[in-house]
Amino acid sequence: MVAYQVIKDFLTKEEIRSFDHLVKDKTSLFSETSGRGNLGPRYYVIDGDQVSNNLPEISSFEQRIRFMVEQFAGHPVQLLAGSRRSMRIQIYSKRSHGFRWHFDGHSYVAILTLKNTNLGQTQVISSQLSRYLRFLFYPLYPFPHIFSIAPHETIVSEPGSLLLMRGAKLLHRGVTLKLEGERILIVYTYDEAGKKSNRLRDFIARRLNY
């Protein structure tokens, strides 16, 4: 089972320019997450409801992404039931911006990179090691940096690349290494087709994220 896949040059240069222009035209929609209790993510975000209502080009592009996710997963998938988190646009532009070590509450994630001038990274612990670390993850939840000592791979995505990942099975995080520049991502999240929403999971995600 492939845990993640990077597809370079998934977007053409024209598509990158087009999406970048659309995002910059909607800067007023971005809000900054608070990283509640130092546990949640920190970045500027346009949530899925806003994307659907104000950026139909990015919302409709999900159909092309879904095809790639289904090829990767090997079975049909559906967007995450919670519309706010089913798709989003994220900007990491501060040294404090990032996403602590975590397992996703959804089965699959697709991350499109539009820009990465601050050496933003996705760091991933192997699926086998993640399986063992899961038993320690929740007891050590307030101390996520402990997991940084575990061997992990680093993915630095270039503009136009698509990262597909089994986020529920991989312990992973997002980090920003430079003070200058920014990392702009379009994120789509998926579960297996027919999977029902988990109310507890959605409640925790809303409390910690946005």
What 3 state SS string does 125-180 have? Answer: CCHHHHHHHHHHHCCCCCCHHHHHHCCCEEECCCCCCEEEECCCCCCEEEECCCCC
Q: Which domain holds residue 90?
A: 4-208
| Residues 61 and 68 sit within 8 Å (Cβ to Cβ) | no
Sign of the C-alpha dihedral, residues 153, 43, 176, 116?
positive
Instruction: State the pLDDT confidence band at 177, using cuts at 50, 70 and 90.
Output: confident
* pLDDT attached to residue 198: 65
Q: 10 Å Cβ neighbour count for 56?
A: 11
Q: Where are the beta strands (DSSP E) in the chain?
A: 4-7, 31-32, 44-46, 77-79, 87-92, 99-102, 108-116, 121-124, 153-155, 162-165, 172-175, 183-192
Q: Which of 87-91, 93-97, 102-106 has the largest mean confidence?
A: 87-91
The enclosing domain of 201 has a CATH number of 2.60.120.620
Distance, CA of 180 to CA of 118 (rounded, Å): 6
Residues with Cβ within 8 Å of 185's Cβ and at least 6 positions away in sequence, in order, are: 89, 90, 91, 92, 111, 112, 113, 114
Q: pLDDT above 90 covers what percent of the chain?
A: 73
Two tokens at 209?
């994220």
Whether residue 160 has pLDDT greater than 90: yes
Place of tokens 């089913």: 86
* pLDDT attached to residue 73: 97
* pLDDT attached to residue 63: 97
Whether residue 40 has pLDDT greater than 60: yes
Q: Are strands 172-175 and 4-7 parallel, antiparallel or unpaired?
A: unpaired
Count of the separate structural domains present in the chain: 1
Two tokens at 99?
């996403």
Q: What is the pTM of this model?
A: 0.92
Two tokens at 51?
């994307």
